[in-house]
Amino acid sequence: MRYSFVTIGDLANVNERETVDLLAIIQDVGEVTSIHSQKTNRPLIKREVTLVDPTAFSTRLTLWGTTAETFQVPAQNSVIALKNVTVSNFNGMHLVVLVY
């Protein structure tokens, strides 16, 4: 598998809904939570992960659905490589994994 990594600092130069590859350190992993979608009026499962990298920037990674539920929580400060994650600008620039 080939990656073309961008830094978290470079996310400001990426258009919304583009996909990127990212190499980062896991700073914090939130609990699995359920929210209610206003669009579909259905419950959605999500988990927030805070990522940092050597550029001293941080970003949120939002995992949805079964990905949020089955995510193996690694030790804090573990390195993670992400392939083709979607850039979102909803409530600030962050990354989204849309797998249900």
Q: What is the pTM of this model?
A: 0.84
Judged against a pLDDT cut of 70, whether residue 94 lies above it is answered with: no
**71-80 contact pairs (CB < 8 A, 24+):** 71/29, 71/47, 73/29, 74/26, 74/29, 76/26, 76/27, 76/28, 76/29, 77/25, 77/26, 77/27, 78/25, 78/26, 79/23, 79/24, 79/25, 79/26, 80/23, 80/24, 80/25, 80/26, 80/51
Number of domains in the chain: 1
Q: What CATH number is given to the structural domain containing 84?
A: 2.40.50.140
Show the domain range for 62.
5-97
What is the per-residue pLDDT across 23-65, written as a single tens digit (0 to 9) for each?
A: 999 999 999 999 888 888 889 999 999 999 998 889 989 998 8
pLDDT confidence of residue 34: 93
